[in-house]
Amino acid sequence: MEKVNLAEKFSRFRDCWQPKIVGELNDSYVKLARLSGEFIWHKHEAEDELFLVMKGTLRMKVLEDGREREIRIDPGEFLIVPRGVEHLPMASEEVQVMLLEPKSTVNTGDLRNERTVEKLEWI
Amino acid sequence: MEKVNLAEKFSRFRDCWQPKIVGELNDSYVKLARLSGEFIWHKHEAEDELFLVMKGTLRMKVLEDGREREIRIDPGEFLIVPRGVEHLPMASEEVQVMLLEPKSTVNTGDLRNERTVEKLEWI
């Protein structure tokens, strides 16, 4: 049982859109990710997902009742995207986020493409 | 679906050792708590618990193989206390923490006493 220092863990990687595992509890992983630019629209059928912003500003586009909305998430703020909700994470400048989601969660949700991270790395 | 600003939520309460719910995902709650002084030794039989320190220094005493150890957790650091591990949170000066744990988790674990919070409040 060791504590985790988020800044130290972030210093271990530079690649974007490649979440790294830094902890596990119950059926979930705690992950860290750097995000930059635009991801892809996707949803997770059965998994809620928490995004806690540590650095930068995350802009999350979400689809609610067929209408697009953008939620701006600054450091010290989190957003929980409920299962089934289409979302598109975007970052004009690089963002550092802590994610919390079930171990089963795939970064591209119900899609599989070149942005899918098939094998998660522990750091 | 609305983002949560942690500082704003912390400004809504002053009482210590009384976790408040600020979010839910999957089978877990995200809670905020102010801690000051010493809590009680306890464990959670079937629940892992995450403590992310936002402000102040949390000192977590844990019992490992019958030996006491103290882990110091500063802002930007988290500790996951696995199920079954006896632990005692302490704070010389007030600490602000974000907790993540299953909805079933009781603050005093397998004990019920005057420090038990029976009904959690959403803020």
- ipTM of the complex, rounded to two decimals: 0.94
Contact predicate A95/B19, CB 8 Å: no
- The mean predicted confidence, pLDDT, of chain B is 95
Average pLDDT, stretch B76-99? 97
Average pLDDT, stretch A5-24? 97
- Do B78 and A6 make contact, defined as CB atoms within 8 angstroms? yes
Residue A12, pLDDT score: 98
Domains with residue ranges and CATH for chain B: 6-101 (2.60.120.10)
pLDDT at B118 over 90: no
- Do A77 and B24 make contact, defined as CB atoms within 8 angstroms? no
Most confident of A62-66, A72-76, A115-119: A72-76
Distance from CA of A8 to the nearest CA of B (A): 9
Confidence class of residue A119 from pLDDT cuts 50, 70 and 90? confident
Contacts of A47 (CB under 8 A, 6+ apart): A83, A101, A102, A104, A105, B26
Residues of chain B that touch chain A, judged by Cβ-Cβ distance less than 8 Å: 1-7, 23-28, 30, 47-50, 54, 62, 64, 71-74, 76-82, 85, 100-102
pLDDT at B20 over 90: yes
- The mean predicted confidence, pLDDT, of chain A is 95
Nearest residue on chain B to A53, alpha-carbon basis: B5
In chain A, what's the furthest Cα-to-Cα distance?
A: 45
User: Residue A2, Cβ neighbours under 10 Å: how many?
Assistant: 8
Measured between beta carbons, the chain A residues lying within 8 angstroms of B2 are: 71, 79
Would you give the end-to-end CA distance of chain A in angstroms? 15
The position carrying tokens 């949170």 is: B89
pLDDT tens figures, B26-67: 999 999 999 999 999 999 999 999 999 999 999 999 999 999
pLDDT at A104 over 90: no
